Amino acid sequence: MAAATGFIFLYYSELMFWSKYDPVGMAPSRLGLTLLAYTIMAYLFLCLLSRFRARSVWALFLVGATFGWICEGVLVTTMYDDFPYQLSWTGLAWHDLITVMTGWYGVRRMLGQNRMRHLLALAVAIGIFYGLWAVFWWREENHRTPIFDFAVYVMGSSGFLIFSYWLYDYVKIVPFHSSSWEVGILSGLVLVYYFFGTLSIQPMSIYILPPLMAWVGMVLWRNRAVETGGSLLSSDTDPVPFQHYLSLLAIPVAAIFTYAFCYRMNLSLPTNLIVYWITTPLGFLMLALGSLMILRARPKPTPRRQFPFGDSSIVRK
């Protein structure tokens, strides 16, 4: 379950972001290590969803923020380069909004509700975004990936993505309960990497990452106190028809057609700047609204036990 989630994260956070095959960075050994890292982060992500009873969109976003900040503030140090804008880009703006909220939650929600038209519309939208995003690399690297190479890359990686969605639904544990030792071991791995790796490269991170994580942890602890139900991992759904998974092929198809159109028309668009100026402030806004909504929430009353035969007076008689 964590491995399937890990590849979904890998697809949106890495394969879609870079939008092309890199012989060095995407060699089988390097890609395998990257998938292992994303699987560990996905495992911790699932555990945090369960432990903090993250059921609302706000709580999900805050758990996704921990995932994004681990990616950009622990595994790499880009989070500290352009302070404070890099706090959102790309930890919140991409890893959280696009990978978690759209790729993991949005697509799976449409799959679980068996809404074919809504799922197809979302898949096409993701594909169009993918194709437009890939265009900006022409400006960045002064090189255009041929249409055929882009098509092979997108179709191949998207095939594994669709398999990961199916695998997640096939092996998912409902309800998902994580133990304290699981959370402790996974958090310990992240802390060890941070203290012996990230901190030595970027000492100033000690003043940025721990306070952010402490704040999110406090808000999520509040969410656990006010949320009497389970998390997003607690409810089961009806089996998803296999053709609904096939409809996700609209992602690579729409991406290829969009990319090919821009290629033929020679439309070198600054899509990176457009995405940056939209998602970066949106990430900060979602963080502030999510924290406010959870902190202002009141504990939900626990349902009272009902007598099996109605009024208690009748039972006594």
Residue 239: pLDDT above 90? no
Residues 216-245 as b/e (b if ≥16 CB within 10 A, e otherwise) read: beebbebbeeebeebbbbeeeeeebeeebb
| Cα-only R_g, the chain | 21
Which tops the pLDDT comparison, 144 or 309? 144
Phi, psi at 137, each rounded to 5°: -65, -20
Angle between helices 271-296 and 209-226 (to 10 degrees): 50
Which tops the pLDDT comparison, 253 or 234? 253
9-46 pLDDT tens trace: 999 999 999 999 988 888 888 999 999 999 999 999 99
Mean pLDDT computed over 115-139: 95
Instruction: Give the per-residue pLDDT at 113.
Output: 84
Mean pLDDT computed over 115-132: 95
37-62 pLDDT tens trace: 999 999 999 999 999 999 999 999 99
Interatomic CA distance for residues 252 and 156, integer angstroms: 9
Give the mean pLDDT of the chain.
Answer: 91
Mean pLDDT computed over 108-122: 90
Contact 9, 41 (CB under 8 A): yes
* Residue entry with tokens 């703006």: 93
DSSP output for 215-273:
HHHHHHHHHHHH--S--TTS---PPPPHHHHHGGGHHHHHHHHHHHHHHHHT----HHH
292-309 pLDDT tens trace: 999 998 876 655 544 444
Of 231, 317, 254, 282, nearest in space to 94 by CA: 282
260-280 pLDDT tens trace: 999 999 998 999 999 999 999
Instruction: Give the per-residue pLDDT at 302.
Output: 56
Cβ neighbours, 10 Å, residue 39: 19
> What would the two tokens of residue 171 be?
């092996």
> pTM score, two decimals?
0.92
Instruction: Give the per-residue pLDDT at 112.
Output: 86
Residues of the chain with pLDDT > 90: what percent? 78
